[in-house]
Amino acid sequence: MKAQDNQPDGLSEKDVLAPCVKALIRGGEGKFLVLYRSATHPRYPHDVDLPGGVVGDTGHENEDFVAAVRREIKEETGLDIPAENCHLIDTWWCEGRRQNKWQQRGLVVCDIAGTPGVKISWEHESYAWVDFDRLVSLLKQGKHGVQVRNWRTLENYFLNKK
C-alpha cells in the first residue's frame, strides 16, 4: 500500500504532513525490540521508541510503508530484515501534534530469528527485547506517544500468529 491512500475527504496538500511508519520487530521467544531515544534526540529525548520514520523521505520519494520501515530499521538498528518478513498490519489517519495537520501512519510487523544485538544510531542510546505486555506498557506510558490504533487488534494478530 502506498502512503497517502485513503486520504480523508476535504484535505488539501497543505493540510497533510508526510506519512510515517513504525515497526514492531518480533524476535525469538516472542520478544519485541524497543529503543530508547538518546539525550541528543531533538524530540522527546530518553523516551521509548520503535524503529521507523518518514515514508518517502528525501531520496526515497516512491517507497511504500514496508520499504520505508525496512530502510529506517537498517538506519536505526543495523538490522537488515527481508521484505517477506515484514507485513503492513494497519494504517490510519490522525491529526498530527505538530502544525495541526493530518498525517497517515502505518504499523509494520517484522519477524526475525532470535534476539540479535543491535547497532543503534545517534537517535537512540539503548535497546531492549521485551515481552508483549511490557511492550504495551512502555509504549502507553511514553511521552513521545508511539501510536497503535487498536491494541486489541494487535494482540489478536500475535495470538493468531503463534
- pLDDT tens profile 120-155: 999 899 999 999 889 888 888 776 656 666 666 677
Q: Which CATH superfamily is domain 17-160 in?
A: Nucleoside Triphosphate Pyrophosphohydrolase (3.90.79.10)
Estimate to the nearest angstrom the gap between the alpha carbon of 124 and the chain centroid. Answer: 14
Distances in Å between the alpha carbon of 127 and those of 46, 77, 141, 154?
A: 11, 9, 17, 22
d(CA 112, CA 2): 24
d(CA 108, CA 15): 25
- pLDDT for position 79: 96
- pLDDT tens profile 54-104: 887 777 778 999 999 999 999 999 999 999 999 998 887 777 666 677 777
- pLDDT for position 129: 96
